[in-house]
Amino acid sequence: MATVDIRAVRKTYPGLPFEVIKGIDCAIADGELLVMLGPSGCGKSTLLRMVAGLERISQGEIAIAGRVVNDLEPKDRNIAMVFQNYALYPHMSVYANMSYGLRIQRLPKAEIDRRVRDAAAILELEPFLQRKPRALSGGQRQRVAMGRAIVREPDVFLFDEPLSNLDAKLRTQMRVEIKRLQQRLATTSLYVTHDQVEAMTLADRLMVMRDGVAEQIGTPMEVYTHPATVFVGGFIGAPAMNFLQGEVAEGGAVRLPGGVALPAGTAAPGQAGRPVTVGIRPEHLAPAGEGVPGLPVTLTVDLAEALGADTLVHGRLAGTDTSLIARLAGHVQARSGEAMALTVTDGAWHLFDVESGRRLADTVGRLAKPAA
Amino acid sequence: MVEKSRLSVWIAHSVLILGILAIALPIYVAFVASTHDVRTVAQAPMPLVPGPHLWENYARALGQGSDSVGNVPVAAMLANSFIMAMVIATAKIVISLLSAFAIVYFRFPFRMGFFWMIFITLMLPVEVRIVPTYEVVANALAPVQSLLNATGLTWLIERLAGLRVSLEWNMLDTYAGLTVPLVASATATFLFRQVFLTMPDEMTEAARIDGAGPVRFLFDILLPLSRTNIAALFVILFIYGWNQYLWPLLVSSNLLTVQIGIGRMLAVGDGQVDWPIVMASTMLAMIPPVIVVVAMQRAFIKGLVETEK
Ligand SMILES: Nc1ncnc2c1ncn2[C@@H]1O[C@H](COP(=O)(O)OP(=O)(O)OP(=O)(O)O)[C@@H](O)[C@H]1O
Ligand SMILES: [Mg+2]
């Protein structure tokens, strides 16, 4: 049972005046795949490397399989890591690359051979065992790097952007392979990426990070349907969520620019006059009259981008400067300058505190409830 | 950028051919001189075609040498030179490899201090420190002795035990004296440092996760990956060692290297220089470096040009 517990972990690099990780707590269950997602420089790799033992933990503790590992060397933590640039040993054959760690552990030859061949079979690397890494394609090298991780039979897999160096098509394919592999081996995994599609598809749970803080930890659906902060709302989903400045009216209605109002009961009553940030996803806008129940708004179209399956309509809320993007079906036509009647899907709006950016808890609309 | 017209090819080749001629001609003349007898060589227009005494001259040089150097055979000199060059090249590589390894991969107190100390030795080749180095080699324990004298310990021991402490460890005329002062190399240390700095961090980390300790990492990963650099450096250092002249001249009077030997053959005062033997020895002295260069040519060029990572 290999759980990973990250408890109040902080990190300061020597010589840097600020904290890179500012207190993160997270318990990862046995066999779970946790994806860490966030913009560049937010500390994803740093956190992962602290789990690996490649970076000292400044404060707090990390436990693997119930054992605190703060002072253990990487090799004693029973982890395996897959790096972005594969980090293979260029002078060793694929077989030697995969077996190197096992040879250092002085496992019996037969056992090493069995493990390498098993891993090679899973990863379809058998024809390449005697080749040097330089004679392999990017995808094959990536598989060797995974093979090297698998043969260790570790408690935890750590992936640091393993697919970033691959082209888009191969990335999709490898993503599926990694998911299948992880489920088959049921090994607890931490996976760093800044690609949200990768994050959404792979994750059992997502940790969305910003500036060394875990803004939200939850299943991909939870994070999508109930973003905990303005940042998470804007970071997950493409095109990004629309944000509007609203104000709470009497009775809990929320007034939007241009005289539109979200119905009463949306915000907590008794907060009249409070400014709020309202988030609406582009995909939750639909042309009026398609029978979708919701709030009617009018958009002054600036520009329409036809993407085939979808049409992205950029515009402004009629009579205001508040810009808005709607993601509509591919057949929808929109001309620049025209006024377009749209409906905001009923309840598909998110309210956030203006100051803290945090979600206002009582605004859960009629979208699917998060799985408990 | 590189134009490949007929004319430019032609010019390039003429320049190359001229260069080769300029280098090859003196060697050819030396070879010719080594195939005649003394009298023919000393004649006013020296012949420019090889003569009939080739085997005789080379056999005499290798086997019994010239009487002006006390008949030390050139074969023995070649062996001395070879040992000296091998020891210098090998020891320089081992030492600089280890020091570069320490500087790049370990965090220890005064790391940068040591780095700069090594750097400063760049400014102190043997020629500059030749007198003090000679003194140390003449008696490696002299510093200890002066310490004893300065602290009054010598005096104390003489008083108490009636013994005069006089330490001596003479390395003159030994292989150690010939090579040890030349084996520390800042240049090679920097070269290896540069090589190690190009090794990707992630590979080092992967090795750490795989459980490779420092020694393992050095032997399993760093050394194989620096192979071509080591080979290139070996070629350069072997030739550097082989061509040593000033230092051996100073510290060894009986342990003759081939360079010193040839020098001595020329210093005959009013007598007649035995040119055929001198030239035969010169030709022989060129062979080992040529063999090393030819044998390691491919690795040498790879090591200078390629970065395999
Ligand atoms: N060895 C180091 N010394 C000092 N600062 C560092 C070091 N490594 C990372 N940092 C800093 O810590 C912060 C977080 O870096 P980290 O590599 O964890 O980001 P990341 O989220 O992985 O980004 P990316 O998506 O670009 O890989 C950055 O501001 C970075 O400059
Ligand atoms: Mg990173």
Q: What is the mean pLDDT of residues B287-291?
A: 94
Percentage, residues of chain B above pLDDT 70:
97
Predicted local distance difference test score (pLDDT) of residue A363: 46
With residue A79 as reference, give the H or E element that holds it: strand A79-82
Tell me the pLDDT band of A133, cut-offs 50, 70 and 90.
very high
pLDDT band with cut points at 50, 70 and 90 for residue A150: very high
Residue A8 CA to residue B264 CA, distance in Å, equals 78
Query: Cβ B225–A91 below 8 Å, yes or no?
Result: yes
Structure tokens at B304: 């200078």
* Residues flanking ligand 1, CB < 6 Å: A 13, 16, 20, 38, 40-46, 194
Give me the domains of chain A, ranges plus CATH numbers: 4-226 (3.40.50.300), 239-353 (2.40.50.140)
pLDDT for res A193: 94
pLDDT bin (cut points 50, 70, 90) of residue B48 is: confident
Residue B151 lies in a domain: yes
Q: Which residues of B touch A90 (CB under 8 A)?
A: 225, 308-309
Domain count of chain B? Answer: 1
- In a domain? residue B222: yes
> Quick check: A372 pLDDT over 50?
no
Evaluate whether residue B252 is within a structural domain. Answer: yes
Cβ of A75 within 8 Å of Cβ of B206? The answer is no
Q: Residue A178: phi, psi to the nearest 5? A: -65, -45
Chain B residues whose CB is inside 8 A of the A88 CB are: 203, 206
Nearest CA of chain A to the CA of B208: how many Å? 7
**Do A105 and B211 lie within an 8 Å CB cutoff?**
yes
Which strands form A205-210's sheet, in the order they lie side by side?
A79-82, A156-160, A188-193, A33-37, A205-210, A213-218
Question: Are the C-beta atoms of residues A344 and A265 closer than 8 Å to each other?
Answer: no
Alpha carbon distance B159, B153 (integer Å)? 10
Per-residue pLDDT tens for A154-188?
999 999 999 998 888 889 988 998 999 999 999 99
Per-residue confidence at A260, pLDDT binned at 50, 70, 90?
Answer: confident
Contact A340/A299 with Cβ under 8 angstroms? yes
Distance CA B112, CA B56 (A): 59
Element (H, E) at A327: strand A323-329
Atom of ligand 1 at shortest range from CA of A13: 4
Instruction: Summarize pLDDT for B263-280 with one digit per residue, the tens.
Output: 888 888 777 888 999 999
Nearest CB to B209: which of A52, A84, A91? A52
pLDDT band at B71 (very low <50, low <70, confident <90, very high): confident
B14 inside domain: no
pLDDT of A70 reads: 95
Of B208, B220, B225, the CB nearest to A74: B208
ipTM higher than threshold 0.90: no
CB contact under 8 A, A54 and B207: no
Cα separation of the two ends of chain A = 23
pLDDT for residue B1 is more than 70: no
Q: What is the DSSP letter of A359?
A: B
pLDDT of the residue at B159: 83
Averaged pLDDT, B275-288: 93
Q: Where in the sequence is the domain holding B159, given as residue range(s)?
A: 73-305
Q: What is the pLDDT of residue A290?
A: 73
Looking at residue B3, what is its pLDDT?
A: 59
Q: Give tens-digit pLDDT for A265-320.
A: 777 766 788 899 999 999 999 998 777 778 889 999 999 999 999 999 999 998 88
**Is residue B166, in this structure, part of any structural domain at all?**
yes
Answer whether A104's CB lies under 8 Å from B212's CB. Answer: yes
Residue B87 falls inside a structural domain: yes
Give me the mean pLDDT over the A59-88 stretch. 94
Q: Is pLDDT above 70 for A339?
A: yes
pLDDT digits (tens, 9 = 90+) for A308-321: 999 999 999 988 88
Inter-chain CB pairs, A–B, below 8 Å: 56
**Mean pLDDT along residues A36-49:** 95
Minimum-distance CB partner of A100 among B210, B225, B309: B210
Q: Which residue has the higher pLDDT, B233 or B272?
A: B233
Which residues of A sit within 8 Å Cβ distance of B?
A: 52-54, 73-75, 79-81, 83-85, 87-91, 100-101, 104-105, 148
- At B119, which CATH number? 1.10.3720.10
